[in-house]
Chains A and B, each alone.
Chain A
């Protein structure tokens, strides 16, 4: 019974496969090209590169607007995981060359601020305003979370300020490490190896 059933099935499947078969390679490759072309036009391009730094391997990424991500002391896969999985990721050292040159100068003590277009448009308006205040803190100085909150006209928002700084996608270039706690401690730091890195950066800038 089973043998007869499977024989019948084999008979039909054989005819099915030969009748429906496979599409022609030309049609297939034309479609593949079309989908890839659409994707290249539709998906945002993110180009990234890496360098070694005193704080461990450092990764930087740029999009069409400017520097959009920076991190250090982590694995490459951890860094790349942060991007929307619909973007096109390309490792392109040339695209981030300007960023990496300025960072090298900074680590060598030859540069105290950065001249780079940045893109923080993914953040909320509050997070953006916090980071904009952080950019006004001069190298060698530290402000407290409370002072940043006051600058924003929201003196009771020290904790949300801390939260916004922790989401800084471009540490070092946007100097969130220059914000410390009111009790004199360093507060928090989400970049690289955490507080160790924050202390290192503040020492480099002569703030500690």
Chain B
């Protein structure tokens, strides 16, 4: 029997929420958690609208991740735009410095991850936090497996170099 939408929510809500939270909820903004909740709702709303056209033998999980990634990219662009605007204002410098000068290691890693290009951030999150394999990541990001691997490699390399410099 074809998968029903309520089963889709039941099976995948938690991991989609966690994925969005990892992509967007860790950058120290006060409204980050609310953003992630709004975005999760948006992902399921979009999924609901196009669920009927989905083939029964499709990979529903990858399809949902794909929608989530699109929503996250849009939100990341908005946040970046807001930041760029803020950083051009002198009086906001102090506030920004707090978020990019973290004291402990976890904060530092979070800041480094948030500096990664969106695709590298998505790739490394899908691979090491969501534990997806490369064929699925390639499907989600509409790219080749080689490209997904290369993005993960670049992200890990960047993080390693930055962290090693601090050891």
Contact = CB atoms under 8 A, between A and B. Distances in A.
A87 to B, nearest CB: 8
A20 B159 CA distance: 13
Interface of B: 1-6, 9, 13-14, 17-18, 21-22, 25-26, 33, 36-37, 40-41, 44-45, 48, 51-52, 105-107, 109-110, 113, 124-125, 128-129, 156, 159-160, 163
Contacts of B51: 85-86
A202 B125 CA distance: 64
A80 B3 CA distance: 12
29 contacts: A11-B163, A12-B160, A16-B128, A16-B129, A16-B159, A17-B129, A19-B105, A19-B106, A19-B109, A19-B110, A20-B129, A22-B18, A27-B17, A27-B21, A27-B36, A27-B37, A34-B37, A34-B41, A38-B41, A38-B44, A38-B45, A81-B2, A84-B52, A85-B2, A85-B3, A85-B51, A85-B52, A86-B48, A87-B4
Given A16-B113, A23-B21, A85-B5, 13 more contacts: A16-B109, A17-B128, A20-B26, A27-B17, A28-B17, A31-B36, A31-B37, A34-B37, A43-B48, A85-B3, A86-B5, A86-B48, A87-B4
A49 B41 CA distance: 32
Interface string A9-38: 101110111111011000110111011101
Contact of A12 (B5, B18, B163): B163
A36 to B, nearest CB: 7
B17 A12 contact: no
Interface of A: 8-9, 11-13, 15-20, 22-23, 27-28, 30-32, 34-36, 38-39, 42-43, 77, 80-81, 84-89
B14 A32 contact: yes
Mostly, the B contact residues are: helix
Contact of A20 (B5, B17, B110): B110
Contacts of A85: 2-5, 51-52
Contact of A31 (B26, B40, B163): B40
A32 B37 CA distance: 9
A167 B159 CA distance: 61
